[in-house]
């Protein structure tokens, strides 16, 4: 799912995840109503109802028609069906499963914990730490052997505590060691 599709789905879920909006849809499914009628039925102020109606109208779920000076709002059931067919298909809902944390999650973690090419601090969260360790492991060529001193120098270019990160790289199985010589391996 690309970012635009994701944002459209997010807007739809947000619009429908509000109790007042769901009540408005329920009322309008029965018959067309004005803002003032909805406000009275829901015990809300007219500007609040107008705000909710505009969010529902963005999705095309609510339509408005003028009768004289009164604007009547109706629920468009066909628009809900179209929205459901377009956004909530099994393919679209499952397309994000390859990235369980959501689009760009790893990028956001790196933006949080890195200042350019320098690590600000080691994340406490295991999942976030793994993202940072994976980034650090990519600073080393696969299948190239690094003596411990060279490995430490490379790590220190990115963070002051080379010993901790060296142990973390080994523990996470991103690197292996034999006789104080290290090499990068593929993540398990």
Q: What is the pLDDT averaged over residues 26-36?
A: 95
In this predicted structure, what is the pLDDT of residue 87? 75
Residue 143: pLDDT above 70? yes
Average pLDDT over residues 10-37: 92
pLDDT for the residue 15: 85
Q: Which domains does the chain have, with CATH numbers?
A: 3-97 (1.10.10.10), 105-184 (no CATH)
Q: What is the rounded average pLDDT of the residues 164-169?
A: 96
pLDDT reported for residue 92 = 67
pTM above 0.75, yes or no: no
SS (H, E, C) the chain: CCHHHHHHHHHHHHHHCCHHHHHHHHHHHHCCECHHHHHHHHCCCHHHHHHHHHHHHHCCCEEEEEECCEEEEEECHHHHHHHHHHHCCHHHHHHHHHCCCCCCHHHHHHHHHEECCEECCCCCCHHHHHHHHHHHHCCCCECCCEEHHHHHHHHHCCCCCHHHHHHHHHHCCCEEEECCEEEECCCC
The pLDDT value recorded for residue 95 is 60
Position 99 scores a pLDDT of 53
């Amino acid at each position: 799912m690309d970012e635009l599709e994701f944002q459209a789905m997010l807007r739809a879920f947000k619009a429908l995840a509000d109790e007042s909006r769901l009540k408005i849809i329920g009322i309008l499914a029965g018959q067309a109503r004005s803002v003032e009628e909805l406000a009275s039925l829901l015990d809300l102020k007219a500007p609040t109802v107008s705000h909710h109606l505009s969010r529902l109208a963005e999705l095309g779920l609510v339509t408005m028609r003028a009768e004289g000076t009164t604007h009547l709002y109706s629920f468009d059931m066909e628009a809900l069906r179209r929205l459901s067919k377009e956004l909530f298909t099994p393919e679209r809902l499952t397309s994000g499963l390859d990235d369980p944390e959501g689009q760009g999650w790893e990028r956001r973690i790196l933006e949080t914990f890195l200042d350019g090419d320098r690590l600000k601090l080691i994340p406490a969260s295991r999942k976030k730490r793994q993202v940072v360790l994976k980034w650090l492991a990519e600073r080393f060529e696969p299948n190239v052997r690094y003596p411990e001193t060279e490995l430490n120098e490379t790590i220190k270019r990115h963070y002051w505590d080379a010993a901790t990160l060296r142990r973390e790289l080994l523990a996470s199985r991103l690197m292996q060691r034999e006789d104080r010589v290290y090499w990068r391996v593929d993540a398990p």
